[in-house]
Amino acid sequence: MPSTVSEPDAATFPITLEPLTADDLRHLARVAGADDAGVVAIDRPELAAEREAILAFAPWAKSLVALVCRMNREPIRSPARSVANLEFHHTGDRVNEVARHIVAGLEARGVRAINPAMGFPMEMDCFPDRVWVVSHKLVAEAAGLGRMGIHRNLIHPCFGNFILLGTVITDVAIDEEDRPIDFNPCLECKLCVSACPVGAIGSDGRFNFAACYTHNYREFMGGFTDWIEQVATSRNALDYRRRVSDAESASMWQSLSFGANYKAAYCMAVCPAGDDVIAPYRADRKAYRAAVVQPLVDREETVYVLPGSDAEAHVAKRFPAKTAKRVDGALRPRSIAAFLRSLPLVFNPGHAKGLDAIYHFTFTGAERAQATITIRGKQLTVEAGHIGEPNLRVTADSTTWLGFVHKEKALLPALLLLRIRLRGNPRLLVAFGRCFPS
């Protein structure tokens, strides 16, 4: 099938001996089919958290081209999620195609460049740690293509959040670069809060990653692993059908054959921000809510939640048309460092009500580390080393602790064998565990 994007040629991107400029890179991105583009240097302060990973992947990197491709809005808003997923996948393919053509144009100039995937495939040998090469949202934000709203989607000033993002890494030392926009297009209308079936987006700006990941990514990564374990542990076909419905099996087949099904993305569907998007919301907010938000709220569907999580309670309280189904998130950190990094992502503040405690963790054995974890006012902080006076001291062999976290080892034998030792009120460890139902 012929490409929908023209390859850059001498007419659109002439080969000269002059050094490439930022304008050249933006021009090439638009010629390749991007709806908008920006350029940033690798040493920008906003990219500090990304720089090490990018340079490990491409040590020659000097600049990054951030690009945006628009999605059609009505498919994303449709309660028929097959329609929305079709738009996600086809626009994602377009982003990858555009990025590939940018790389081809740069290679024609003798410039080193590479285009990490828009979404999937990713570096799954690293799962469940960092599997992405570059965080497109952070690069796009630094390049002035928008700001992240409370739903954690990038909102373009014109196109709103109905966009997908890509990045091209280059060895071009650019002459000037784009800067972040000086305002946030997010209206803080809280429509994303009201539409999210698992309550992942808090009205106070908090974000529950585990709730979002468990439902929206049910047929990806950890959710797929959980499904495989359901297959492996079922006694027979009848037992499997008790655990997994025919519709779920068919959906998994569709994910494997066409592309994984996003189960929600309602936060994106209802967002009215952006100059091209906002007019109907401004004209009649009540009508907008009735036409765009309410069909997603009223949609009958299975919502996937972790047992005992804030999300499970949220579905029961806010979405009578939806059915919560308990599943295993299957996010198993491979190291103590990964375990500590994951805690803010899987923290359930609703289960931390009334808890005010400082925990000192000392990990021994194969991986040695010390950490202070504080839970106070339904807030979590994780710090390296031992800070302050703890309410509970936990000393654990690192391998044993990871087995405990993975639900492969029981706590009581570990305590009896002194692989895990406690100093303080042991009930505080039980309270700690309730905050992390995954």
pLDDT tens-digit series, residues 14-40: 555 578 999 999 999 999 999 999 999
Q: pLDDT class for 9, splitting at 50, 70, 90? A: low
pLDDT given at position 15: 52
pLDDT tens-digit series, residues 58-78: 999 999 999 999 999 999 999
pLDDT tens-digit series, residues 182-200: 999 999 999 999 999 999 9
Euclidean distance between CA atoms 276 and 281, whole angstroms: 11
Domain 22-170 has CATH 3.30.2030: no
pLDDT tens-digit series, residues 404-420: 988 888 889 989 999 99
Q: In this predicted model, which residue has the larger pLDDT, 221 or 437? A: 221
CATH class of 336-434: alpha beta
**Number of C-alpha atoms within 13 angstroms, CB side, residue 327?**
32
Residue pair 28/108 in contact (Cβ under 8 Å)? The answer is no
pLDDT at 317 over 70: yes
pLDDT at 1 over 50: no
pLDDT given at position 3: 45
- Percent of the chain clearing pLDDT 90 (strictly above): 84
The yes-or-no answer to whether 22-170 and 336-434 have a common fold is no
pLDDT at 8 over 80: no
pLDDT given at position 10: 45
Of 218, 211, 186, 217, which Cα lies nearest the Cα of 196? 211
Name the token pair of 369: 């580390």
| Residue pointed to by tokens 């049910």 | 218
Arithmetic mean of pLDDT over the chain: 93
Question: Rounded to two decimals, what is the model's pTM?
Answer: 0.90
Euclidean distance between CA atoms 219 and 234, whole angstroms: 19
Beta bridge partners, 305, equal 326
Mean pLDDT of 303-311: 93
Domain regions of the chain by residue span: 22-170, 191-326, 336-434
Tell me the three-class secondary structure of the chain, residue by residue. Answer: CCCCCCCCCCCCCCCCCCCCCHHHHHHHHHHHCCCEEEEEECCCHHHHHHHHHHHHHCCCCCEEEEEEEECCHHHHHCCCHHHHHHHHHHHHHHHHHHHHHHHHHHHHCCCCEECCCCCCCCCHHHCCCCCCCCCHHHHHHHCCCCEECCCCCEEECCCECCEEEEEEEECCCCCCCCCCCCCCCCCCCCHHHHHCCCCCECCCCCECHHHHHHHHCCCCHHHHHHHHHHHHHCCCHHHHHHHCCHHHHHHHHHHHHCCCCCCCCHHHHHCCCCCCCCHHHHHCHHHHHHHHHHHHHCCCEEEEECCCCHHHHHHHHHCCCEEEEECCCCCCCCCHHHHHHHHHHHCCHHHHCCCCEEEEEEEECCCCEEEEEEEECCEEEEEECCCCCCCEEEEEEHHHHHHHHCCCCCHHHHHHCCCEEEEECCHHHHHHHHCCCC
